[in-house]
A = this chain, B = another copy of it.
Amino acid sequence: MRRISLLGPGTFSEESALHFLGEQPHELVPFKLISEVFQAVVSGRADLAVIPIENTLEGSVSQHLDWLVHEVDLPIQAEWVYPITMNLLGPARPLEGGAQEREARLARVRKVLSHPVALGQCRQFLRTRLPQAEVEPVGTTAEGARQVRERSGEEGLAAIGSRSAAKLYGLELLAEHIEDHPDNATRFVLVGPQPLSLRGTGRPKTSLLITLPADFPGALHQVLSAFARGQVNLVRIESRPTRKKLGNYFFFIDVEAPLSSEPMPAVLAEIESLGCSVRVLGSYLSHGV
Residues of B within 8 A of A227 (CB): 217
- A246–B6 alpha-carbon span in the complex (Å): 30
- A119–B243 alpha-carbon span in the complex (Å): 22
Given known contacts A62-B54, A116-B34, A121-B63, A137 and B137 CB-to-CB distance under 8 angstroms: no
Query: A235 touching B216 by the CB < 8 A rule?
Result: yes
User: A183 touches which one: B54, B57, B221, B243 (CB < 8 A)?
Assistant: B243
Within the complex, the shortest CB–CB distance from A79 to chain B, in Å, comes to 15
Asked if A238 is at the interface of the complex by the 8 Å CB criterion, the answer is yes
- A217–B237 alpha-carbon span in the complex (Å): 10
Query: B140 touching A137 by the CB < 8 A rule?
Result: yes
Query: B243 touching A32 by the CB < 8 A rule?
Result: no
**A106-145 at interface with B (beta carbon < 8 Å):** 115-117, 119-121, 123, 135-140, 143
Asked if A24 is at the interface of the complex by the 8 Å CB criterion, the answer is no
Query: B220 touching A120 by the CB < 8 A rule?
Result: no
Which residue of the partner chain B has the closest CB to A232?
Answer: B217
Asked if A60 is at the interface of the complex by the 8 Å CB criterion, the answer is yes
Asked if A33 is at the interface of the complex by the 8 Å CB criterion, the answer is yes
The contact string, 1 if C-beta is below 8 Å from chain B, for chain A 50-86, is 0000111101111100000000000000000000000
Query: B54 touching A57 by the CB < 8 A rule?
Result: no
Query: B137 touching A116 by the CB < 8 A rule?
Result: no
Which residue of the partner chain B has the closest CB to A183?
Answer: B243
- A238–B238 alpha-carbon span in the complex (Å): 4
22 pairs across A/B with beta carbons < 8 Å? A32-B135, A33-B119, A33-B120, A33-B123, A33-B135, A35-B123, A56-B60, A60-B60, A60-B61, A61-B61, A61-B62, A63-B120, A63-B121, A116-B139, A116-B140, A136-B139, A216-B234, A216-B235, A217-B224, A218-B228, A234-B239, A237-B239
Given contacts A61-B62, A63-B117, A183-B243, 20 further A-B contacts (CB under 8 A): A33-B123, A33-B135, A34-B120, A35-B120, A55-B60, A56-B60, A57-B60, A59-B116, A61-B61, A63-B121, A137-B143, A216-B234, A217-B227, A217-B232, A217-B234, A218-B228, A221-B224, A235-B239, A236-B239, A237-B238
